[in-house]
Structure 1
Amino acid sequence: MGAIGVIGAVVGSVAALFVLLIIGTALLKSSSRSDTTTPVAIPTYEPSESGSDEPTPIWTPTRSQSDEPTQQEPTQQESDEPETPPTRQQQQPQVTVNTSLKNNTMYRAGSLPRLSCPAGNANIFNHSQLKALILKTGKCMDQAWGPILQRQGINFSPPNYAIAAKRGRGACGDYPSAGSMVPYYCPRNNTIYASTSAMARGNGNARGYGQIISWHGGIISMMAHEYGHHVQNITGIMNSWWRSTLDSSSQSGKLALSRRLELQATCFGGMWMRSVASSYPVNTSLRARLFWFYGQVGDYPGWPRDHGKPVNNNLWFRQGWEKNKAYQCNTWLAPASTTS
């Protein structure tokens, strides 16, 4: 583990729910917030070596030809196929890990290392510049998440990327969805799909991230959120979320699970932005802008409550930034008031 949304019909849209349903099926085959917001105080426990849930073998994505979905070409001049990183870290031997939501093995991974990942002066309204920045920072995310997950015996492989200038069709649906501008992660082929124009300028009535914050750190933090869904996928969290969603007997229960999944990805995004703050750079002023930005995005009245209120998006981004521990992003143990 969809993506965060913005004012209007952005993330809380019906299209976002549609993408979540497709993702789940594939797996089984407010107001602005000030800089004084207090991060989530819990969970404060140290993750145990074994949880109440029975550990299960980690789900390892397969990439066989027969399993690969047929994709249509993006409906734009150029064709942006998923871009696979040229090199992949050697997979670790498969081990038994806990893939549950509340006591997943990944919560023992600790903090992300401080990395050098200078962003430069990319213009988010220029497709080639923004795409290059997304791919570059994606490699930095590999360098951050890969080692700490592998040390816990979790098989790691980086995601692929399909970055279109305007729009296209991916394995989990169109990107962007009609009336939306959000990118999405598809676990079916481990690919992050995004439209640079939609993210920067918006789509239909949906405001773009670039219309809220013109600094490229806003969009890249959202890509770090999508990368968080990849982390959820390879650690088994996403599979466990979908099983819980199927077991839930009410729509409100399903939405509550969706919010916890999305807010956890936001927390992971906050961890990564903190890990590159000194080199990106994210100085005190830009950090304040990021925190403000996350008080502007989320669910709004009249739309499905599937990603969390703006106040809670701010809360969990700051949780990842300030706590910077994997187990501190355990939204599955947090009070319902922080995931509403």
Structure 2
Amino acid sequence: MLLIVALVAVVAAGGVFLFVKLTQGGGEEPTVAEPPVPTSVAPTTVVPTPTKKTTTTAPPKPVQSVSPATYNATHRLYKTGAMRTVNCKQAKTGPGNGAQALAYFKTIKACLDRAWPRQVAAAGGRFRSPGLVVWGGTVNTPCGSGPGRSFYCPTTHTIYMESPSVVSFYKQNPTFGRMVGSFTVAHEYAHSVQWMTGLGEAYEKLRYDATTDGQLLLSRRLELQASCLGNVFLGSNRGSYGITGYAYQMWLYDVNNSGDRPPYPRDHGSTTSHGAWSRAAFASRNPASCNTWSASPARVS
């Protein structure tokens, strides 16, 4: 519900949004399940103009004095404690069109900008708010181009939010659309946290010499961790953000039904794995729940 990441094709009630293949790192959103209770309103596609807030340099990378595998498995982020609430609230207007989606995404990003600095600093990184671009149709970036899903690009330190799929979900089921949009932003923001703290750079080093199957396993560790960290944020603000009652059921449906789906590669994790890491993070509100790098392959299947 972001799920996301860096991430591929979003299966909507009316069709499929094609996958963007990034040239480096991870960072796309996971595949999202259809809304459980669609309304009779047909989904529409909105193509907003991208915002112009971008940066041109990647965040500084912490010094790594151990192997990349050990670095990620024993990272200081897991010892930073539970995330403190920033009393984040949802935008009153949901993502019903391109302009509203931009406003909705900007609101939750402002909350994330307040929530993550303490954790990033305690983990040894230097916090820099990532840029945000909201787009529809196609987008050109150093990390890839073309139609597809939302993703984070380390080169520009920017989150690229694809809005038409979220708008479509919102028109079918407003509560589900809100939860998908909120999770997606939180997931992609978590990718920026991975790169601000050195986890992302270590992933790239590990991936360089890995086999094809090994690269997929590493990608699943990266993506499942991003979903986990995104839900640390949502869990810490669940009261003020209103993830209770029916909204909680829609959040739960999203995280339990997002993940790799045929014919896409096994690079984000199964729906079972995605749900398990997401639920644990939401309950604990602690990055200690998100050490996918030391987990057994079965837990990141």
TM-score, length of structure 2 as denominator length: 0.79
CA contact (8 A) 1:134 1:223 kept: yes
Structure 2: state its 5+ residue gaps: 34-46
Distance of 2:216 and 2:263 partners within structure 1: 14
Whether 2:199 is the aligned partner of 1:198: answer no
Residue 43 (structure 2) aligns with: none
Alignment of structure 1 residues 93-108 onto 2, 5 Å: 100-108=71-79
1:173/1:152 CA distance change after superposition, 3 Å:
closer
Q: CA deviation at 1:154?
A: 2.1
Deviations 1:89-116 (A, max 9, x none): xx99x88887721011222211111121
Whether 2:19 is the aligned partner of 1:2: answer no
SS of match in other structure, 2:230:
helix
CA contact (8 A) 2:102 2:134 kept: yes
Residue 180 (structure 2) aligns with: 218
Question: 2:85 corresponds to which letter in structure 1?
Answer: R
Aligned-pair Cα RMSD in Å = 3.1
**Out of 263, 271, 276, which is 1:302 matched to?**
263
Q: CA deviation at 1:215?
A: 3.6
Alignment of structure 1 residues 144-183 onto 2, 5 Å: 144-174=115-145, 177-178=146-147, 180=148, 182-183=149-150
Alignment of structure 1 residues 1-340 onto 2, 5 Å: 2-3=6-7, 6-7=10-11, 15-16=19-20, 18-19=21-22, 22-24=23-25, 78-83=49-54, 100-174=71-145, 177-178=146-147, 180=148, 182-201=149-168, 214-248=176-210, 250-340=211-301
Distance of 2:189 and 2:227 partners within structure 1: 10
Deviations 1:194-241 (A, max 9, x none): 22113333xxxxxx6875764412211111000010010011111111
1:4/1:319 CA distance change after superposition, 3 Å:
farther
Q: CA deviation at 1:120?
A: 3.5
CA contact (8 A) 2:203 2:222 kept: yes
1:156/1:292 CA distance change after superposition, 3 Å:
same
1:338/1:79 CA distance change after superposition, 3 Å:
closer
Using the aligned pairs only, state the percent identity. 26
The more displaced of 323-332 and 226-235 is: 323-332
Structure 1: state its 5+ residue gaps: 33-75, 85-90, 202-207
CA contact (8 A) 2:125 2:198 kept: no
Distance of 2:84 and 2:172 partners within structure 1: 31
Distance of 1:6 and 1:309 partners within structure 2: 15
Question: 1:307 corresponds to which letter in structure 2?
Answer: H
Distance of 1:302 and 1:287 partners within structure 2: 30
SS of match in other structure, 1:337:
helix
Distance of 1:276 and 1:152 partners within structure 2: 21
Q: CA deviation at 1:82?
A: 2.6
Q: How many pairs were matched up?
A: 270
CA contact (8 A) 1:118 1:281 kept: yes
1:5/1:223 CA distance change after superposition, 3 Å:
farther
1:130/1:302 CA distance change after superposition, 3 Å:
closer
1:196/1:308 CA distance change after superposition, 3 Å:
same
Task: Flag the structure with higher helix content.
Answer: 2
CA contact (8 A) 1:298 1:307 kept: yes
CA contact (8 A) 2:94 2:170 kept: no
CA contact (8 A) 1:23 1:172 kept: yes
1:126/1:294 CA distance change after superposition, 3 Å:
same
Write out the 4+ residue segments of structure 1 that deviate beyond 3 Å after TM superposition.
4-11, 76-79, 94-99, 208-215
Distance of 2:214 and 2:112 partners within structure 1: 32
Distance of 1:256 and 1:209 partners within structure 2: 32
Distance of 1:83 and 1:278 partners within structure 2: 31
Distance of 1:106 and 1:210 partners within structure 2: 38
SS of match in other structure, 2:180:
helix
Structure index of larger Rg: 1
1:194/1:296 CA distance change after superposition, 3 Å:
same
Distance of 2:200 and 2:232 partners within structure 1: 19
Residue 88 (structure 1) aligns with: none
Residue 204 (structure 1) aligns with: none
Question: 1:143 corresponds to which letter in structure 2?
Answer: R
